[in-house]
Amino acid sequence: MVLRTTNAGVSWTEASPDLSTKNPSRGVPPGGIVGDSLGRFYGEVVFSIAPSDVRKGLIWTGTNDGKVWYTKVAGKNWNDVTKNITGLPAWGVVTRIEPVALRRRDLTAPPGPPIVPLLSWRGARDGTTSE
């Protein structure tokens, strides 16, 4: 989940739902020396976040379980674009995400540069990396 503050951290509001895979098989016991009844720990988190400097309200996120999302309206709606990213391993960790403005060559397209993310990730099991 992404949280937002407008008062230097005095209070926070939700800017997204849970953006992870929500896969129950990824839960682990909470740890400790002896067993406890705290339930299971789900370590799926938003690992990288990148608000755009070019387009107000555009935010990209990457999770530590291989998901990539963006919102164009400061968190009101989120779009999962994971399946559109070639080479991103299942359960990979999106370690860095950086929005980049590109020049448009199609003059019939709406004004303003398209914003695309540059991604960095680490493979979940084999340790491979990519940029």
Q: What is the pLDDT of residue 19?
A: 94
Q: What's this model's pTM, rounded to 2 decimal places? A: 0.74
Report whether pLDDT(98) > 90: no
Using the Cα atoms of residue 88, residue 94, residue 96 and residue 97 in order, give the sign of their dihedral: positive
Distance CA 93, CA 65 (A): 6
Q: What 8-state DSSP symbol labels residue 28? A: B
- pLDDT tens string 60-88: 999 988 899 999 999 999 999 999 888 88
Give strand pairing partners of 101. Answer: 115
Buried b (16+ CB within 10 A) or exposed e, 1-25: ebeeeeeeeeeeeebbeebbbeeee
Beta bridge partners of 129: 122
Position 9 confidence tier, pLDDT thresholds 50, 70, 90: very high
